[in-house]
Amino acid sequence: MTLSGPRAHVEVTPRDFPTNRGGLCQKGWTAAELLTSPQRLTMPLLRDHRSEPFRPVSWETALDKVADGIRAVQGAHGHDAVAVFGGGGLTNEKAYQLGKFARVALRTKNIDYNGRYCMSSAAAASNRAFGIDRGLPFPLPDLAETGTVLVMGGNVAETMPPFMQHLNAVKDNGGTLIVADPRRTVTAEQATTHIQLMPGTDLALALGLLHIAVADGHVDRAYIENRTTGFDDVWRVVTGWWPERVERITGVPVAVQRTVVRALATGRDGRGAVILTARGAEQHSKGTDTVTALINLSLALGLPGRPRSGYGCITGQGNGQGGREHGQKADQLPGYRKIDDPVARDHVAEVWGVLPDTLPGPGPSAYELIEALGTEDGPRSLLVHGSNLVVSSPRGRRVAERLAGLDQLVVCDLFMSETAALADVVLPVTQWAEEDGTMTNLEGRVIRRRAAVDPPPGVRTELEVLSGLAARLGHGDKFSPDPRVVFDELRRASAGGVADYSGITWDRIDEEGGVFWPCPSEREPGESRLFRDTFPTPDGRARCVAVDHRAVAEDVDPEYPIYLTTGRILQHYQSGTQTRRVEALAEGAAEPRVEMHPDLAADNGFANGHLVRVRSRRGDALARVLLTTSIRADTVFMPFHWGGEQAVNRVTNPALDPTSKMPEFKVCAVRLEPAGGTS
């Protein structure tokens, strides 16, 4: 199908694929509107001073301007004066090429991506426990056949509606669905059991569940002895988390705790049991330890490797899995290799045709990188691909200040996002239906993205952008704009790594409907089910890691007496850069609402529709009150899909997890102030 003009009609038809079974969410059904949106960027924009308006320029002028800025900044301040910020929605080819561009064409250590804000805690915990990070260790359809599923901090009924059919199938088959969330979300309403815990106490709950599993005789002793290490150290901590103590901290009754453990043990002994985490449990300054405690629970019960059982992470972004495997992360090379591993550096440098010593070392994580922008020793130039930092980063006002202090800000995007509006150069790039490539879903299944329409005249792919910049910087021979060529190079670079794609080809993906990694040979199938016999650790055993609960980074007090938690809603996605421009979605949710319990509203003098300011020590956000009994009376909820005064991430806390460097998006202390006006 080809776009023949501004009124060309494109329809979205769902494919009956194993993961979605023919289902789509509202965002999928309406995605075609973005292809012909009148707000679409269709030519490069440039300005010489940020006080001036943008003016359209040719691609040659725009790329020359960017390359000149890079050379000027690096000439004055060194290679690391230029930074790159990527996105979890980029195809595998673009994510790979972006990491290569940073290390080869720019030779900078400063690259990270918005996936740091999404799956990094689960990735860190999985890597240290299992030696591998893949969202699900089994195909998603297995989930529907299991006996018990515990979802910690996920509202998939709104954020990933097609996923919900697999969870509902568990109940339809007589199984048990348990959802832990401070809110009674649409997902929680469909659960067999809803655990309405206090925000920031997921780790204490996980420790308490393991205590009950041991004390009540539900653990698999043979599995622990034969397939794990470190459980004795874990038990020394967990022994202090008796059920009554956990109830005082989490608000979860002892009887409910025991119900959850019995359900997991019963499921294990029947069809299987699965523990899933999502952002609600992970986006904390202790998110890695929370996931680790839940992995410890799954190992103690003997779940990983058992049919239809184990631990899994519900991946959020479009290419959240593939985007974190091939080099966008600050400490990473393709194939999920560590950038400070000499063997990994030698292998990748050979594929790239450079000397290993020329590759930079690890750089700072996403928020640490943003904090360093424009400072005396920090980056002076930033290239942004597939991210809207001003809306999606915590302490948003400070992020905008950091961007304003740069010598050069370059943004590749489809629309004039809040971040693009601050840039010196904005480059219009292709979107989902206009480009070829591959993506990797939460199962580790590599699938194809096929171009269905031509992009508007004047729009280029990010591979073409990177190729053009590399040529201007003297590396044009190393950066092909052809996604198939890039994927074949990715295969070679990932060979032998944890995320080995070397046996995956575009033809195989087309023929087989997707191929799972690891897949080290074209003659062998990919590994769809992990851990059946061994774990990819040096000794083949999973590692139980001792962790302990600690309080949230910022607890409530008399000045800020209310907990704030954030998340997504049905109509919108991430920073809303795209979905806010779809008429049907915008009509369904034109502005953010701050959900609060009627008792909390009455105590503060608010009614439904009142405008309020949600204020923390870092800033404030504006929203209208939505009264609901589905939330705790000590907590308010606000979605993060809007910018400007409605951006809740102006309020959130940038306290970082020491391991994953995940900011604490999910809980901070706020107060509510009247802002005037009603609905």
| pLDDT tens column, 191-209 | 999 999 999 999 999 999 9
Task: State the average pLDDT over residues 640-646.
Answer: 93
Q: 175 is written with which tokens?
A: 């199984």
Contacts of 464 (CB under 8 A, 6+ apart): 481
- Considering the entire predicted model, what is its pTM? 0.96
Confidence of residue 8 (pLDDT cuts 50, 70, 90): low
Helices 231-238 and 202-215 cross at an angle (nearest 10°) of 110
Banded pLDDT at 1 (limits 50, 70, 90): very low
Nearest CA-CA partner of 662 in 278, 160, 390: 278
Q: Which CATH number do you get for residue 597?
A: 2.40.40.20
pLDDT at 13: 83
- In this structure, the answer to whether residues 277 and 330 fall within a common structural domain is no
What is the C-alpha radius of gyration for the chain, rounded to an integer number of angstroms? 24
> Mind listing the pLDDT tens digit for each residue in 424-473?
999 999 999 999 999 999 999 999 999 999 999 999 999 999 999 999 99
User: Domain range for residue 657?
Assistant: 562-674
| 23 vs 417: which has the higher pLDDT | 417
109 shares its domain with 126: no
Return the residue matching tokens 């690391």.
Answer: 80
Q: What is the dihedral of CA 168, 174, 175, 179, to 10 degrees?
A: 50
Task: Single out the residue in 446, 481, 516 at which a domain terminates.
Answer: 481
**368 CB contacts (<8 Å, ≥6 apart)?**
656, 661
In degrees, to the nearest 5, what angle opens at C-alpha 66 toward C-alphas 64 and 69? Answer: 105
Residue 111 inside a domain? The answer is yes
Instruction: Say how far apart CA 170 and CA 156 lie, in whole Å.
Output: 15
Kindly indicate the confidence band of residue 315, based on its pLDDT and cuts at 50, 70 and 90. confident
- pLDDT score for 679: 44
26 and 46, same domain (yes or no): no
The predicted model gives 184-194 an average pLDDT of 97
pLDDT digits (tens, 9 = 90+) for 24-66: 888 888 888 889 999 999 999 999 999 999 999 999 999 999 9
CA distance 386 to 88: 8
pLDDT (mean) for 358-385: 97
**DSSP-derived 3-state class of residue 262:** helix
More confident residue, 372 or 3: 372
State whether 178 and 297 are in the same domain.
yes
Q: Domain tally for the chain?
A: 4
State the residue for tokens 């008796």: 242
Would 135 be classed as within a structural domain?
A: yes
Q: Is residue 306 part of a domain?
A: yes
Looking at the fold, whether 279 and 370 belong to one and the same domain comes out as no
pLDDT for position 317: 74
* Integer Cα distance of 545 and 385 in angstroms: 36
Same domain as 287, residue 200: yes
Residue 3 in this model has a pLDDT that exceeds 50? no
Mean pLDDT on 240-257? 98
Q: Which residues contact 534 (CB under 8 A, 6 or more apart)?
A: 540
Token duo for residue 431: 């979107």
Residue 332 tokens, joined: 């990473």
pLDDT at 380 over 70: yes
- Average pLDDT for residues 390-403, to the nearest whole number? 97
Q: Which amino acid is at 306?
A: R
Calculate mean pLDDT across residues 497-502. Answer: 98
Do residues 134 and 98 both lie within one domain? no
Pairing of strands 148-152, 273-277: parallel
Instruction: Quickly count: other Cβ atoms within 10 Å of residue 373's Cβ.
Output: 23
Average pLDDT, the chain: 95
More confident residue, 320 or 96: 96
Same domain, 143 and 207: yes
Q: Is residue 496 part of a domain?
A: no
| Alpha-carbon gap, residue 614 to 668, rounded angstroms | 11
Residue 368 pairs in a beta bridge with: none
Question: For 299-327, what is the mean pLDDT?
Answer: 93
Q: What is the mean pLDDT of residues 174-198?
A: 97
DSSP string, 535-576: -SSTTS-EEP--------SS---SSS-EEEEEE--TT--TT-
CB 185 within 8 A of CB 235: no
d(CA 344, CA 477): 23
Tell me if 541 is assigned to some domain.
no
* Two tokens, residue 243: 């059920």
Strands (E), 42-91: 45-46, 55-56, 82-86
- Residue 68's contacts (CB-CB under 8 Å, 6 or more residues apart) are none
Mutual angle of helices 483-494 and 342-352, in 10-degree steps: 150
* Percentage with pLDDT > 70 across the chain: 98
Which pLDDT band holds residue 5 (cuts at 50, 70, 90)?
Answer: very low
Q: How far is CA 673 from its chain centroid?
A: 31
Of 423, 448, 481, which residue sits at a domain end?
481
> Which amino acid appears at position 478 of this protein?
K
Residue 507 within a domain? no
Residue 475 sits in a domain of what CATH number? Answer: 3.40.50.740
- pLDDT computed for residue 10 by the predictor: 79
| 3-state secondary structure (DSSP) of residue 199 | coil
Q: What is the pLDDT of residues 204-225, one digit of tens each?
A: 999 999 999 999 999 999 999 9
Residue 227 backbone dihedrals phi, psi, to 5 degrees:
-125, 0
CA distance 329 to 109: 10
Give which of 601, 387, 457 is closest to 40, Cα–Cα. Answer: 457
Which pLDDT band, with edges at 50, 70 and 90, does 677 fall under? low
Among left, alpha and beta (phi > 0; psi -120 to 50; other), residue 666 is alpha
Strand 668-674 relative to strand 562-567, pairing = antiparallel
CA–CA separation, 381 and 402 (whole Å):
11
Q: How far apart are the first and last CA of the chain?
A: 44
According to the model, what pLDDT value does residue 573 have?
A: 85
Query: Where does a domain end: 313, 341, 360?
Result: 313
Q: Could you tell me if residue 596 is inside a domain?
A: yes
CA atoms within 13 Å, Cβ hemisphere of 311: 26
Q: What tokens were used for 429?
A: 């790039």
**C-alpha span between 438 and 444 (Å, rounded):** 12
10 Å CB burial of residue 51 (0-12, 13-18, 19+) is exposed
Residue 148 lies in a domain: yes
pLDDT in tens, 541-559: 999 999 999 999 999 999 9
Residue 615, number of CB atoms within 10 A of its CB: 17
Instruction: Over range 333-347, report the average pLDDT.
Output: 97
What are 636's strand-pairing partners?
A: 564
Exposed, middle or buried by CB within 10 Å (0-12, 13-18, 19+), for 425? buried
Q: Is 146 in the same domain as 292?
A: yes
Check which CATH number belongs to the domain holding 182 and give it. 3.40.228.10
Stretch (H or E) spanning 108: none
- Whether 163 and 287 map to the same domain: the answer is yes
The rounded distance, in Å, linking the Cα atoms of 264 and 284 is 25
H-helix or E-strand containing 177?
strand 176-180
Q: Cβ(530)–Cβ(125) under 8 Å? A: no
Residues 563, 636: contact at Cβ < 8 Å?
A: yes
Q: For 290-306, give one letter per residue: b (16+ CB within 10 A) or e.
A: bbbbbbbbbbbbbbbbb
**Is 125 found in the same domain as 90?**
no
- Report the run of H or E that residue 460 belongs to, with start and end: none
C-alpha span between 660 and 208 (Å, rounded): 23
Residues 342 and 227 in one domain: no
